[in-house]
Structure 1
């Protein structure tokens, strides 16, 4: 019941009471949250996300944030007159482009998230995978791109995947009551920097940290059936059937596979949730109804 834009105190008390068992259940547990999409560009959503992360930390959970930044990278490349080429949705990243990626992801985007969390009373620390040798990367293989004449192999440049993660620096921050905010940039054995898909980094980070949950914020309401209905409470076997029958396809496939890898690696549950919904992280973690698609091991 709303009156003069104020929430009824009874309703507020009910919401807090509903959250209590979830707070008790997840107290001391690590929650890895991949932050991206519209939630990273809308000012109200950005502020709300930061506030929610602080609240989670305040009530005893240990949030670890892994963020993307593709649109921000694209805008800065455009400002510099640098064209982007994509193969299978992956940006070809030469040395000059990688310099921009590091500046935007490791600098501008990362520090904005850190600043917002700190403004709301948290203690966030920004990292890239190069800090503390956090993320070791391997260059991905060349990909085939169709041209007007024929197909050709394209060197993807400084695009990598996760080879290994040394969680020591993240563990130290979590134990010190800090909130790690991680940009998905890894370092190769040769010292070169590599841009890595943020979903993949978040999934592997959740696995290495033995996280209770992996949350992937997207620009969709979750995984939908062929009839457009939200699917949730799915096991790995059920997800595999949905992949086989074509229900899961296109851009949702990498997210689902990332979530399944995390579950197979020991993470208790993975959640694909709509980052366009205000306070979606709290709604998913601390309410009976939840939001989005829940994936479980069995």
Structure 2
């Protein structure tokens, strides 16, 4: 079976990554590995909203999305950030094709349960994997902006971690890699913060309840849990600045924090 993985990365994180990271992506592609990238872009969205004088706030880590905010989210994610990533991949010798979940109905969505207070924020109901498969088969790396759409043509702002988890589950990949600006899930041990090499779904629930996992990390790990309950057996949270981190995450493991269903469920 061919080797493939889904990588989720924030737009600001990707922009700050050094060229060797993208060269590593190219080398993996040349070795027959098929990456799929799902990206965010929160800081760039906030910056643009501020410059346009459009108010923005967060509810439980998710951006409250009015129609005006949604226009900016789509413009920044599917336009500026998506094309920056495609361009940077191309400059380092690989081929990428950028699209959003609206294109071809790639990501079907419905309103989240608390849409009355958070606006046009969506949950993923379906991913059209045949579009992603087609792009990969043409030799391109799919780069996906997490905008969803429903049957009536309504767009939705989808948390990038949630979208990546849904894409990974639909593709049935073995590992999903979350590239961040932190080395993994941290836990304070004897007064010192340390990276947990692995953590189970049950332990994540306990850490959320205790407050050890908080803020923007909550939707990240919850998306990972959703993903593990689907076809994916392991999700790895890593820092993109570590040398060789992608190759290690794809081939060896032993880097960052591996989120697994159970201790026995860890990929070797």
Q: TM-score range by the shorter chain?
A: 0.7 to 0.9
Q: What is the aligned counterpart of 2:150 among 166, 188, 202?
A: 188
Do residues 65 (structure 1) and 29 (structure 2) align? no
Residue 51 of structure 1: CA displacement? 2.2
Residue 188 of structure 1: CA displacement? 1.6
> Distance in 2 between the 1:128 and 1:100 partners?
14
- Aligned residues of 2:12 and 2:44 also touching (Cα < 8 A): no
Relative to structure 1, the CA distance from residue 70 to residue 266 in structure 2 (aligned partners, 3 Å threshold; closer, same or farther) is same
Indicate the residue corresponding to 1:293 in structure 2. Answer: 257
> Distance in 1 between the 2:114 and 2:68 partners?
18
- Aligned residues of 2:5 and 2:250 also touching (Cα < 8 A): no
> Distance in 2 between the 1:279 and 1:244 partners?
34
Q: Which has the larger radius of gyration?
A: 1
Give the gaps of 5 or more residues in structure 2.
none
Residue 284 of structure 1: CA displacement? 2.9
Residue 219 of structure 1: CA displacement? 2.4
Cα deviation digits, residues 158-177 of structure 1 (max 9, x gap): 21111211111001111222
Q: What is the aligned counterpart of 2:24 among 26, 34, 52?
A: 52
- Spell out the pairing of 1:109-128 with structure 2 (5 A cutoff): 109-128=81-100
- Aligned residues of 1:38 and 1:276 also touching (Cα < 8 A): no
Do residues 172 (structure 1) and 134 (structure 2) align? yes
Cα deviation digits, residues 205-256 of structure 1 (max 9, x gap): 1000001110112222211223222112334344445455554344323222
Give TM-score, length-normalised by structure 2.
0.87
Relative to structure 1, the CA distance from residue 243 to residue 88 in structure 2 (aligned partners, 3 Å threshold; closer, same or farther) is closer
- Spell out the pairing of 1:155-234 with structure 2 (5 A cutoff): 155-227=117-189, 228-234=193-199
Do residues 36 (structure 1) and 10 (structure 2) align? yes
- Aligned residues of 2:175 and 2:250 also touching (Cα < 8 A): no
Relative to structure 1, the CA distance from residue 32 to residue 230 in structure 2 (aligned partners, 3 Å threshold; closer, same or farther) is same
Higher mean Cα deviation, 229-238 or 174-183? 229-238
Give the gaps of 5 or more residues in structure 1.
1-26, 144-153
- Spell out the pairing of 1:277-288 with structure 2 (5 A cutoff): 277-286=242-251
> Distance in 2 between the 1:194 and 1:92 partners?
11
Give the length in aligned residue pairs. 259
- Aligned residues of 2:185 and 2:195 also touching (Cα < 8 A): yes
> Distance in 1 between the 2:214 and 2:148 partners?
28
- Aligned residues of 2:107 and 2:149 also touching (Cα < 8 A): yes
Cα deviation digits, residues 63-96 of structure 1 (max 9, x gap): 0000000111111112222221222222222212
